[in-house]
Amino acid sequence: MELQKIQHVYLIGIGGIGMSGLARYFHHLGCIVCGYDKTPTPLTDALQAEGISVIFSDTPDFIPTAFSKPGDNVLVIYTPAVPKNLRILNYFQDNGFELYKRSQVLGIISKGKFTVAVAGTHGKTTTSSMIAHILKQSGKDCSAFLGGLTVNYKSNVLYGKSDIVVVEADEYDRSFLTLFPDVAIVTSMDADHLDIYGDHEHLNESFRMFASQVKENGRLIVKKGLPLASPLSTSYSIKGEHADAVAENIKIVRGDFYFDFLSRDTVIGNIKMGIPGTHNVENATAAVQAALYMGVSPAQVKAALASFKGVKRRFEYVIKTGQHIFIDDYAHHPEELKACLSSVKKLYPHRKLTTVFQPHLYTRTRDFADGFAEALDLSDELLMLDIYPARELPIDGVNSEMILDRMKLKNKRMCGSMQDVIDRVHKEKPELLLTVGAGDIDQIIEPLKSALGYVE
């Protein structure tokens, strides 16, 4: 595929956060872009408002005539998350089109560019967004393909004039193995996606393969303790253990996080974070090290982190008043949940925490029920939603109650529908509310805001 020849792009699953970024990228290049998704969302609404055509009916009759036959000027991209019996998917397969995964297209786009790839089972969206923001603010500039909507830029794709591209490297379906980065970061390697990998060791093996694809004379930045250490890698940490780059003197001053960055040859004191959370200090430590490698000055790094406003649904404040705090987060793995809830408790130690959680995937719930229970036990009250299935079919005996049964918190909890949760919040008006999950829990953010008495 030669990018310069592409004039028409069709995306199957266009409403996904990664796919929508590619849709915007090709639209920015002047291509005619259209696609299919199952249901309308605020993201598909935004794409349509930008001039990108989206259909929600699995009917090949609605596919534009430009896609009647394959050609060098036509590109069809799909996400492995769509069902194999999708009629639109089968239309392209049956008519001789070569279909590309999002990851393959990212590999083609980044080829020949200075590529910064951020991988990890959690932390990669915020870390890659931080790096992109630092590069933008410092004048180095970059293009970026991110797994979330950055608050600073209100988009999941950034366009730059330099040859630097920042890519969120997704481990799902081994997608990140299409990348050959100049700078690679690995934030975490917790067991996840076991429906794909089978066991943790096969997941680790994929990460090792990803790390091995860093270009000669490139840089590999790895969280301390991950089984990727080598003489050529740089480790980072916030836990006080020995690492090549560390965050020390972490403190909270009037709700803001501050820390000192120390590496072998650089000290940056009293860095103010634009976003809260100890886990985000850890992400920032990796981002700082990557930026320094690329020649960004310590002063520029410090200024950029202070102005970084985060990513939608990553520790995002929905309400922040003296009476109510409402935070929304994408956490959907036990380690992410633990980090998120711990940070909330650290920020607001004297407030009762009410958590609304939506488990994501039957397999993940089955595999990590104990871990979810341990993390959610940090709550003072828990409102649990049903499992969001995404691409999966139900598994007998696997449900949200699996987690509740393993929890120490026995009284202040409930399991119900979205409306049940909204009604409970309306009745109790909790002073500290946290919504967490990667499914469609974001649909109740505005209703919960209204239930707390905040109507715009």
d(CA 445, CA 435): 8
Class of domain 3-100: alpha beta
Q: Which CATH superfamily is domain 316-451 in?
A: Mur ligase, C-terminal domain (3.90.190.20)
Q: Same CATH fold, 316-451 and 112-307?
A: no
Show the tokens assigned to 7.
Answer: 């004039």
d(CA 6, CA 406): 53
Q: Which residue has the tokens 């309308």?
A: 40
| pTM of the model as a whole | 0.85
C-alpha closest to that of 410 among 388, 387, 436, 379: 379
The domain limits of the chain are: 3-100, 112-307, 316-451
H or E stretch at 9? strand 8-12
Task: Tell me which CATH code domain 112-307 carries.
Answer: 3.40.1190.10
Strand order in the sheet with 74-78: 53-55, 32-36, 8-12, 74-78, 99-101
Q: What are residue 427's phi and psi, to 5 degrees?
A: -75, -45
Helix axes 278-293, 298-307, angle to 10 degrees: 140
d(CA 368, CA 123): 19
250 φ/ψ sector (left φ>0, alpha ψ -120 to 50, else beta)? beta
Sequence-distant (6+) residues with CB within 8 A of 55 are 34, 35, 36, 62
Sequence-distant (6+) residues with CB within 8 A of 332 are 359, 360, 364, 436, 437, 438, 439
Q: Residue-wise pLDDT tens for the chain (456 aa)?
A: 788 899 999 999 999 888 999 999 999 999 999 999 998 988 999 999 999 999 999 999 999 999 999 999 999 999 887 888 999 999 999 999 999 998 889 999 998 899 999 999 888 999 999 999 999 999 999 999 998 999 999 999 999 999 999 999 887 777 788 889 999 999 988 766 556 656 777 788 888 999 999 998 899 999 998 988 677 799 999 976 789 999 999 999 988 999 999 998 999 999 999 998 888 999 999 999 999 999 999 999 999 999 999 998 888 999 999 999 999 999 998 988 998 999 999 999 999 999 999 999 999 999 999 999 999 999 999 999 999 998 788 999 999 999 999 999 988 899 999 999 999 999 999 999 999 998 899 999 999 999 999 976
Q: What are residue 164's phi and psi, to 5 degrees?
A: -90, 135
